[in-house]
Copies of this chain bind each other. A is one copy, B any other.
Amino acid sequence: MTQGIRARVRAETTEAIKETARRHLAVDGPNLSLRAVARELGVASSAVYRYFASRDELLTALIIDAYNELGDAVETAEAAAPRRDLAARFRATGHGARNWARAHPHEYGLTYGTPVPGYAAPQDTTGPATRPVLVLMNILRDGVARGSVHHSDRLAAPVRADLEAALATLEYTDVPPAVLARGMIAWTELYGALNFELFGRLIGAINDYDAWFDHQLRSLSGYLGLPAR
């Protein structure tokens, strides 16, 4: 497998570049410097171009990785909760997202922070980006199937239309739009909570972030009507 060795080295180098770039995100934010990455790797800046055609391409790779890592984290966290306990599954989902985001705040910023100016995310990111949402939707679907989750909130016509279209696209037509609406609102809150915590908007107000996040999850669990066990 002589060809294999070349390919493996190449993959390793690619990973090393991304690894270094990830570390640089912490300092430079999304406008990270190719030259700085190359410098830290002890390599000519032009060498990086053997692996990534441009700075934007490297950034795109990092973004896709981040979405997938977050997706992995959320999925495995949720999978560890007992299937029948919908509330526990929901909390596991939230804590999974938060733990990953806290461990990789700058990669999280890449995915859910302010868009990088002048940089247009390619299509490839939309798939991985929806993974956490699907985890939440599966919980809701299970709850609906068991007859334990149901909401009858009134929906204005355009809202209903948008939600029904989304459900059709994702093939979740067994989930009623009113349930999806609450799911999206809960998801939006969690996202906002992560931003507030990670970007330091709660400094001075909250000291025990673990407890506050857990409280939010429990409150949202009630809002979603997830049975306690």
Which residues of A pack against B, CB within 8 Å? 27-29, 31, 109, 112-118, 126, 153, 155-156, 158-159, 161-162, 166, 181-182, 185, 188-193, 195-196, 199-201, 204-208, 211-212, 214-216, 219-220, 222-223
Q: Is the CB of B29 within 8 A of A219?
A: no
Q: Is B195's CB under 8 angstroms from A159's CB?
A: no
Q: Which residue of B lies closest to A108 (CB)?
A: B114
B211, A159: Cβ atoms under 8 Å?
Answer: yes
Does B189 contact A185, Cβ atoms closer than 8 Å?
Answer: yes
Considering the chains assembled together, what is the distance between the CA atoms of A212 and B184 in angstroms? 11
Looking at A155, A181, A190, A191, which has the most chain B CB atoms within 10 Å of its CB? A191
Partner of A188, one of B109, B196, B199, B222: B196
A185 touches B219 (CB 8 A): yes
Bound: A156/B206 CA distance, A: 13
Contact of A219 among B112, B181, B219 (CB under 8 A): B181
A212 CA / B204 CA spacing, docked (Å): 32
Chain B residues with CB under 8 A of A29: 114, 116-118
Q: Are A158 and B114 touching (Cβ within 8 A)?
A: no
Q: Name the CB-closest residue of B to A203.
A: B126
**Interface pair B113/A113, CB less than 8 Å apart:** yes
Asked whether, in the complex, the Cβ of B207 is within 8 Å of the Cβ of A158, the reply is: yes
Closest to A189 in B: B189
CB nearest neighbor in B for A192: B192
Task: Identify 20 new A-B residue pairs, CB closer than 8 A, beyond the known A28-B118, A189-B189.
Answer: A27-B118, A29-B114, A31-B31, A112-B195, A113-B114, A114-B114, A115-B200, A153-B219, A156-B211, A159-B211, A161-B207, A181-B215, A181-B219, A185-B220, A188-B193, A188-B196, A189-B192, A191-B192, A191-B196, A195-B195
